[in-house]
Amino acid sequence: MIGYLVRRIFAVIPVLLLVAVAVFSLLQLTPGDPAQLIAGDTATPEQIQAIREKLHLDQPPLVQAMAWGSALAHGDLGTSLLSGVPVTTLIAQRIEPTLMLALLTIILAVCVGVPLGTFAATRVGSLIDRLVMLLSVMAFSVPVFILAYGLVYFISLKLHWLPAQGYKPLSAGLGATLNSLMLPAVALCGVYMAQIARVTRAAVIEVLTEDFIRTARAKGLSRLYVLIVHALPNAAIPIVTIIGFGVGGLLGGVVVTETVFNIPGLGQLAASAILQRDYPIIQALTLLFAVVYVLVNLLVDLSYGLFDPRVRVWKAVNR
Amino acid sequence: MNMLPANPKLPLLAVENLSVEFRSGRQWVPAVCNVNFSVEPGETLCIVGESGSGKSVSTLSVMGLLPERTARRSSGRIQFDGRALETLSDAEMTAIRGRDIGMIFQEPMTSLNPAMRIGTQLAEVVRRHAGASPRTARRQALEMLERVRIPDAASRLDAYPHELSGGMRQRVMIAMALMSRPKLLIADEPTTALDVTIQAQVLALIAELKREFGTSVILITHNLGVVAEMADRVAVFRAGEKVEEAPVVELFDRPQHPYTRALLAATPRLGGGSWREGRVLQTIDGAPSPSVMPAPADAGTALRASGLGKRFGQTTGWLGRLAKPIRAVDGVSLELPRGQTLAIVGESGCGKSTLARMLMLTIAPSEGDIEIDGQATASLRGEARRLVRRRIQMVFQDPFASLHPQMTAKQIVAEPLVNLGGDDSRTIDAKVARLFDLVGLSPAMLGRHPFEFSGGQRQRIAIARAIVLNPAVVVADEPVSALDVSVQAQILNLMASIQRELGLSYIFISHDLSVVEYIADTVAVMYLGRIVERAPRAALYRSPLHPYTTMLFQSVPSLDPNARRFGHRIAANELPSPSNIPTGCRFRTRCPFATELCAASDPALAAQDNGHEVACHYPGIATQDGQARMSELA
Ligand SMILES: Nc1ncnc2c1ncn2[C@@H]1O[C@H](COP(=O)(O)OP(=O)(O)O)[C@@H](O)[C@H]1O
Ligand code: SF4
Ligand SMILES: [Mg+2]
C-alpha cells in the first residue's frame, strides 16, 4: 500500500514538469512579436523595448527558460507588467475568496448531487427519477451567468434574502463570508451537481444489480442500510472521478462567477490580466490552475485504493 | 438449540400454487406456474432441473427477493413456520431473512461485497438480528469461520473476498447464511462454479452443518449426482412447472415422469464406458448417438509436444520487485494419434488452459516444442506459422463470449474461409450449409445472431467454425461444462460423430471424469503444471495409479443415493499456489500416503504395464490400501 502511494506520487513529477514547460512556451508560441502584442497598438518603440528587456525576450529561448525556471524554483513568479507588483503578492491577496467559493461550490454540489442521484437510482423510471433527471439536464444546459443573474434578480433584488454583490473576508466572520458567497456558489454548482447526480445514479443502478447486493438483502439488512453501506462504496469510484473532473473545471466557472458577483478573487485577476495582456500573471495563474488540477487527480487516483481493495493489488501487479 | 416449528405436524415451509410472472415489454410472461413444494423440519429437499426451469425464481419468491419492478407473484401461498409470508410487510420479511432463512448463491466470486472485509460481512448478520455488540459479533464470526473450517480463520476475518479462492468464498457464504442458525437454508447451485474436489468438500460441509444445527435445507442443482448425495426428497422442475416429486431413492429407482427418466439417461455416470464401445448417452430430444467405432490404429500422429513449459513473470510489492515466477506448465510431453481423443483432466488452476493456449500456438512456450502434422513449430515464422496454426482450432467453454455478438451465425462460420480468400462466395455458402447440416442446425438459422440461440446451439456454431478449415486437431476447453445435462449429451454425441466422420483429433480439456470417460481414448491427469498420470481410458478407469487421480474419482458424486460418499468430515484442502510448488512430489501436501522419500525426491513420469504412466513413488497405493484414508481427504 505504501509502495503504491509512493509510486503514484512520484508519477506526478514528470507531469508537473511538462506543465511548467507548456506554460513557459505560452509566450514563445504567440505568433508575431510578443513584446509588440503585450504593449498594444498604441505603444511607442521605447515601451516595446522596455517590455522586451523586462521579459528577457531579447535573449535566446533557452536562456529565457533557465531564467524563468530558476525564478520559479525560488518561488518568484515575476511581476505584473502594469502595476509592477510581484505576482505572488497579487495571488496571495486574492486566493481566499476563490478558495472559499470553490470549496463551498463543491460541497454543495456533492451534498445535493450524491443523495439525489442515489435516490433516483433506487426508483428508476419513477416520476421522481424522471424529475431528477430533467432537473439535472436543465442545470447542465443553463449557462452559469444566466442562472447567476436569475438568482440575483429573485433572491437579492426581489426578496432581499442575500447580498447581490461583493465578498466578506473570513476576517469578518465565517457567517458573513458564507452569506456573501451563497448566491455565487449556488449559481456555480448547478452544472457540477447535475453531473454528479447523473454519474451517481448510473453507478448506483449498476451496483444494485450485483450479486452481493442480493446477498446483503438475503441477510435481512434493510434497503437503506444496503444502499448506504454496501452499494455506495462500490459505486464510489466513478463518483469520485467526476467530482475530481468538477474541481478541475470549476476554475473556468470561477472566472465568470467572480465577474458577475464582483468577487475580488483569482478569477477576476485572470479576467483582467487577459484583457490587459499582463503575461506574467497569466502564466502564473495557468501554472497554478494546472498544478491544482494535477493534484486533485492524484487525490482521486489515490482514493481508488481506498474504495476498492483490489486496486491496490492490481496496480501493484500490473505496473 | 433450534426451536420446533409452531405446529409440529405442519411442514416448516409449504409453498402452494406459486406462480411468478416476468415483465417483457408491456406483457407479463409466466416463469413459474402453480408450483407446490414443502420442506419438513430437518429435511433436505433438492430441486433439480435445467437452467431456466424456475428453480431460482421459486426460492427467491420464498425469500421475497424477486426483482421488484420486473417480476411479480401472481398467485400462491407461502407458509413458513406458522406464518403466511406472502401477507407480511417488507419490514417483517426483512426481519425473517437471514435470521430464520439463510441463503447461499451460485457465484461465490460475485456474491460477497468486494469492498468489505469478510469479518464485517459475517458480523453484520448477528449485529442486525441479535443486536450483538461489535466485539461479540466479531467473536461469533470467527467461531463460524472455524466451524466451516477455513484454515487460519483469525487472519481471514480481515481479508477481502478477492484474497480467497472460490471454494473458500463459498465456505464464507455458508458461514454467513448460518450465522444466526436459521431454520431453513436455501442453497442455489452452491457448487456449480466449483471444482469437483471442492464441490465434495462444500457438500459434505453443508450435510454436516445441517445435521448439527438441525437445519432444513433446500438445495437447488442441475447435477443429479449432487441430488443423489444430498437429498431426502427431490422435486423435478421443467419449464416453470414441477413435473415430479419423490423420496430420493424412489426417484432414482423408479422415475415416473418421462422427463425425469430422460434426465437420468442423459447423465454420464462413472464406469459406463465410452461411445467407441457402443455406450449410448441418451439425449432428451431422442437424437441418435454415434455408432460404434474402435479407435483408428497407426494413423500417424496429429500433434506431439515435448518438454513444454510456461513461466509467467510476476511482479509485486515495492516498485515492482520481481517475485517468484509462476510455473503454470512444467515439462509436459504428449502425443495425439490421428483420429483419437486425448483428454486432459485436473482442477482449475492446474495449467490446463495454459497448455491449451500453447498447443494453439497463441502463446509461446518458455521451453519445449510442438509438432503439428510432423512439423516442428518453434522455429516457424510468418506465413508458414499461419499455415500451421490453421491446422489446429479451438472450442471454448462459454460459447456466448467466444462468438461475435453482431455477426450472424453464417458470417461467424464463414469468417475463417473469407479471411483465407481462396473461395468465391457460392462455394463458401455451400460449405457453410454443409457444416450447418453436419452440426445439426437448420438452414433457417443461418441469418440469426448469437443471442437468438440457446447455449447448446451456440456451441454447435462454435464447433462448425472450428472445423470449417478442415483442421487436424480441435482443442476443446471445457466445451460442455456450461451446458445442461441433456444438451451436454447432445454436444458430446455430436463431437463423437464428427470425429468418426472426419477423422479429427481432439484434445478435450475437462474436470468432469464421467464426461471424459465417454469421449476420451487417452487420459492425462494434470497437477500443478505436470502430467502426473497418463493411460489409455479403460486402464485409467479400471485402476488409477496416482493418489491424485484416486482423489478426483472419489470426489465425483455417486449417482446412487444408496452409496453416498460425502457423509463424513472432509478437510478444507486446496491446490497450492503455482508460484509456491512443494519440493519433492508436488502432490505431497495433499497426499495421505506421503513419506520422507516423497518430500526428498520428485517422482518422474514412469511407464507401467499397458501404456500406463504415473509419477508417484508408490504407484497404486491409494487403490490397494487406503480407500478409507483417502476418503478423509477427497
Ligand atoms: N430478471 C429476470 N427477468 C426476466 N425473466 C427472468 C428473470 N429471471 C428469471 N427469468 C425467467 O424466469 C424463468 C425461470 O428462471 P430461473 O428461476 O432463474 O431458472 P433456474 O433457476 O431453474 O435456472 C426463466 O424463463 C427465466 O428466463
Ligand atoms: S509420490 Fe508420495 S506424495 Fe507423491 S503422490 Fe506418490 S505417495 Fe503421494
Ligand atoms: Mg438458477
Model pLDDT for residues A209-224, shown as the tens digit of each residue: 999 999 999 999 999 9
Of residues B152 and B356, the one with the higher pLDDT is: B356
Q: Is the CB of B35 under 6 A from ligand 2?
A: no
Tell whether the model's pLDDT for residue A79 goes beyond 90.
no
Best B85, B101, B111, B577 residue to mutate vs chain A (most A CBs within 10 Å)? B111
pLDDT of amino acid A254: 84
Measured in angstroms, the CA of A116 and the nearest CA of chain B are apart by 20
Say yes or no: A306 contacts chain B, CB-CB below 8 A.
Answer: no
Mean pLDDT of B327-339: 91
Instruction: Give the CA distances from residue B22 to residues B33, B63, B73, B237, B451, in Å, rounded to whole numbers and listed in that order.
Output: 12, 17, 9, 18, 19
pLDDT of amino acid A32: 67
DSSP of A68-112, one letter per residue? HHHHHHTT---B-TTT--BHHHHHHHHHHHHHHHHHHHHHHHHHH
Lowest mean pLDDT: which of A76-80, B223-227, B237-241? A76-80
Residues of B within 8 A of A316 (CB-CB) are 315-317, 320
Tell whether the model's pLDDT for residue B602 goes beyond 90.
yes
CB spacing of A220 vs B173 below 8 angstroms? no
Q: What is the pLDDT of residues B142-160, one digit of tens each?
A: 999 988 888 888 888 999 9
Q: Is the CB of B603 under 6 A from ligand 2?
A: yes
CA of B35 to the centre of ligand 1 (A): 15
Q: Which residues, 6 or more positions from A181, have their beta carbon under 8 angstroms from its beta carbon?
A: A97, A100, A101, A104, A167, A263
pLDDT of amino acid B572: 58
Q: Which residues, 6 or more positions from A26, have their beta carbon under 8 angstroms from its beta carbon?
A: A279, A282, A283, A286
Mean pLDDT of B21-45: 92
Atom of ligand 2 nearest to the CA of B617: 1
Q: What is the pLDDT of residues B447-502, one digit of tens each?
A: 888 888 888 889 899 999 999 988 999 999 988 888 888 788 889 999 998 998 88
Say yes or no: A307 contacts chain B, CB-CB below 8 A.
Answer: yes
pLDDT of amino acid A313: 47
pLDDT of amino acid B320: 46
Nearest CA in chain A to B93: A220
Q: Given pLDDT bands bounded at 50, 70 and 90, which one contains residue B289?
A: low
Counting ligand 2 atoms within 8 A of each CB, the residue from B546, B549, B617, B621 with the most, and so the one to mutate, is: B617
Cβ-nearest to B124 among A221, A307, A317: A221
CA of A246 to the centre of ligand 1 (A): 41
Tell whether the model's pLDDT for residue B342 goes beyond 90.
yes
Q: Given pLDDT bands bounded at 50, 70 and 90, which one contains residue B2?
A: very low
Q: Are strands B83-84 and B71-80 parallel, antiparallel or unpaired?
A: antiparallel
Of residues A227 and B622, the one with the higher pLDDT is: A227
Pick from B551, B548, B549, B540: nearest CA to B610:
B540
Find the radius of gyration of the CA atoms of chain A.
24
pLDDT of amino acid B631: 47
Q: What is the pLDDT of residues B421-444, one digit of tens each?
A: 777 888 888 999 999 988 988 888
Q: Is the CB of B307 under 6 A from ligand 1?
A: no
Domain with CATH 1.10.3720.10 in chain A: 87-317
CB spacing of B115 vs A220 below 8 angstroms? no
Q: CATH number for the A87-317 domain, one of 1.10.3720.10, 3.40.50.12780, 3.40.50.720, 2.30.110.10?
A: 1.10.3720.10
CB spacing of A319 vs B320 below 8 angstroms? yes
Measured in angstroms, the CA of B313 and the nearest CA of chain A are apart by 10
Domain spans of chain B?
Answer: 110-179, 301-313+322-543
Cβ-nearest to A3 among B65, B107, B317: B317
Topology annotation, domain B301-313+322-543: Rossmann fold (3.40.50)
Tell whether the model's pLDDT for residue B237 goes beyond 60.
yes
pLDDT of amino acid B120: 95
DSSP of A303-314, one letter per residue? HHHHH-HHHHHH
Of residues B398 and A241, the one with the higher pLDDT is: A241
Atom of ligand 2 nearest to the CA of B598: 2
| Dmax (CA) of chain B | 78
Q: Given pLDDT bands bounded at 50, 70 and 90, which one contains residue B567?
A: low
pLDDT of amino acid B570: 56
- How high is the mean pLDDT of chain A? 83
Cα A22–chain centre separation: 19
3-state secondary structure B284-347: CCCCCCCCCCCCCCCCCEEEEEEEEEEEECCEECHHHEECCCEEEEEEEEEEEECCCEEEEECC
Say yes or no: A75 contacts chain B, CB-CB below 8 A.
Answer: no
pLDDT cut 90: percent of chain A above it: 22
Distance between CA A237 and CA A245 in Å, rounded? 12
CB spacing of A316 vs B176 below 8 angstroms? no
Which stretch, A21-25, B317-321, B415-419, has highest mean pLDDT? B415-419
Pick from B177, B190, B181: nearest CA to B221:
B190
CB spacing of B129 vs A210 below 8 angstroms? no
pLDDT of amino acid B319: 44
pLDDT of amino acid A190: 86
Q: Given pLDDT bands bounded at 50, 70 and 90, which one contains residue B322?
A: low
CB spacing of A211 vs B107 below 8 angstroms? yes
Residues of A within 8 A of B69 (CB-CB) are 124-125
Q: Is the CB of B587 under 6 A from ligand 2?
A: yes
CB B595 within 8 A of CB B616: no
CA angle, residues A117, A119, A123, in degrees to nearest 5: 110
DSSP-derived 3-state class of residue B443: helix
Q: Is the CB of B316 under 6 A from ligand 1?
A: no
The amino acid at B77: R
Say yes or no: A126 contacts chain B, CB-CB below 8 A.
Answer: no
Give the bridge partners for A317, in sequence order.
none
Atom of ligand 2 nearest to the CA of B603: 1
The amino acid at B151: P
Q: What is the pLDDT of residues B40-79, one digit of tens each?
A: 999 999 999 988 899 999 999 999 999 888 899 999 999 9
CA angle, residues A169, A172, A173, in degrees to nearest 5: 100
Nearest Cα residue to atom 24 of ligand 1: B52
Q: Give the neighbor-by-neighbor strand order of the sheet with B505-510.
A: B392-395, B473-477, B505-510, B341-345, B522-527, B530-536, B613-614, B606-607
Residues of B within 8 A of A304 (CB-CB) are none
Residue B625's φ and ψ, nearest 5 degrees, are: -105, -85
Distance between CA A279 and CA A39 in Å, rounded? 11
Q: Given pLDDT bands bounded at 50, 70 and 90, which one contains residue A136?
A: confident
Tell whether the model's pLDDT for residue B316 goes beyond 80.
no
- How high is the mean pLDDT of chain B? 87
Which stretch, A83-97, A224-238, A296-310, B402-416, has highest mean pLDDT? A224-238
* Nearest ligand, CA B455: 1
Instruction: Give the CA distances from residue B614 to residues B85, B196, B377, B528, B609, in Å, rounded to whole numbers and listed in that order.
Output: 58, 22, 28, 15, 11
Residues of B within 8 A of A225 (CB-CB) are 128
CB A96 within 8 A of CB A264: no
Q: What is the pLDDT of residues A233-255, one digit of tens each?
A: 999 999 999 998 888 778 778 88
Distance between CA B160 and CA B171 in Å, rounded? 14
Say yes or no: A211 contacts chain B, CB-CB below 8 A.
Answer: yes
CB A40 within 8 A of CB A277: yes
Q: Given pLDDT bands bounded at 50, 70 and 90, which one contains residue B186?
A: very high
Cβ-nearest to A3 among B97, B162, B319: B319
Lowest mean pLDDT: which of A60-69, B164-173, B534-543? A60-69
CB spacing of B162 vs A313 below 8 angstroms? yes
Half-sphere exposure of residue B218, counting CA atoms within 13 Å on the CB side? 28
Take residue B588 and report the three cell numbers written for it: 505431497
CA of B102 to the centre of ligand 3 (A): 16
Residues of B within 8 A of A206 (CB-CB) are none
Nearest Cα residue to atom 6 of ligand 1: B22
CA of B624 to the centre of ligand 2 (A): 14
CA of B578 to the centre of ligand 2 (A): 18
Q: Is the CB of B56 under 6 A from ligand 1?
A: yes
Q: Is the CB of B455 under 6 A from ligand 1?
A: no
Q: Are strands B71-80 and B13-24 parallel, antiparallel or unpaired?
A: antiparallel
Q: What is the pLDDT of residues B95-145, one digit of tens each?
A: 999 999 999 998 888 999 999 999 999 999 999 999 889 999 999 999 999
Q: Given pLDDT bands bounded at 50, 70 and 90, which one contains residue B632?
A: very low
Atom of ligand 2 nearest to the CA of B599: 3
ipTM of the complex: 0.79
Half-sphere exposure of residue A250, counting CA atoms within 13 Å on the CB side? 32
Mean pLDDT of B312-332: 66
pLDDT of amino acid B286: 60
Tell whether the model's pLDDT for residue A23 goes beyond 90.
no
Number of cross-chain residue pairs from A and B with Cβ atoms under 8 Å apart = 89
Counting ligand 1 atoms within 8 A of each CB, the residue from B18, B19, B20, B22 with the most, and so the one to mutate, is: B22
DSSP-derived 3-state class of residue B6: coil
* Nearest ligand, CA B51: 1
Cβ-nearest to B115 among A211, A221, A308: A308
Cβ-nearest to B105 among A214, A230, A308: A214
Q: What is the pLDDT of residues A149-184, one digit of tens each?
A: 788 777 777 777 777 777 888 888 888 888 888 888
